[in-house]
Amino acid sequence: MPTASAQLALDILRKGSETFQWYVIPLLSFVFYVYTVEVEKRNWNLVFAGLAFWGMDWFNEIWNGLAFHFTNYAPVWGAPGKTAFLILIGLNIEIMFMFAVSGIIWTKMLLPDKKTKILGIPNRVFIALAGSAFCVFVEYLLNSVGALTWDYSWWGRSAPWLIFLFGYLTFFIVAFLVFDMKKMKTKLITVGSIWGLDILALIVFIPVLHWI
């Protein structure tokens, strides 16, 4: 039986006619603007890093939805709070737009030479660790106001390392690896594979099997 927070999320899941808010439009415009600026500058390394980061979040949100389907208890994290549109049980449209640009924002912080260190740590590693820690802190704030829920003892305030490692660090690692790849073909294959898997899973698990 679903937890109270999971049921709240289910009650609004993809019910846009009941939850839509006009602020979605300027948020969408902001995402378009961020990517348009980088495309205009031909910053393809940054664009692909951003798409890799975003694609990794979709992968996480898909398996989170599957976790709820198979347990019928709760997702690993849920987003039952106010939203203009709840896409998946742990992903609302506001979170989606945030992750759409997060990869670009954090990758912009990388130093030109990946061998350069910050406090004795390679800058890619330092920024990935710092970024992941910051994101976990933000999740703590969201959880404190009930916007983001955790129903399992092994994923939450008592076990932040799993959120740190699998909730965020993998995003940073993949995005930075894509950014530093030498060949455009390799970037295309990597990012295309991530998004290809995401899109296939969304098609199979939503309209076909109705699992998430």
Instruction: Decide: 106 and 56 in contact? Cβ < 8 Å.
Output: no
Q: What is the pLDDT of residues 98-109, one digit of tens each?
A: 999 999 999 999
**pLDDT for residue 158:** 86
| Percent above pLDDT 70 for the chain | 100
| Percent above pLDDT 90 for the chain | 99
Residue count of the chain: 212
Q: What is the pLDDT of residues 151-204, one digit of tens each?
A: 999 999 888 999 999 999 999 999 999 999 999 999 999 999 999 999 999 999
Mean pLDDT of the chain: 97
pTM of the entire predicted model: 0.96
pLDDT at 141 over 90: yes
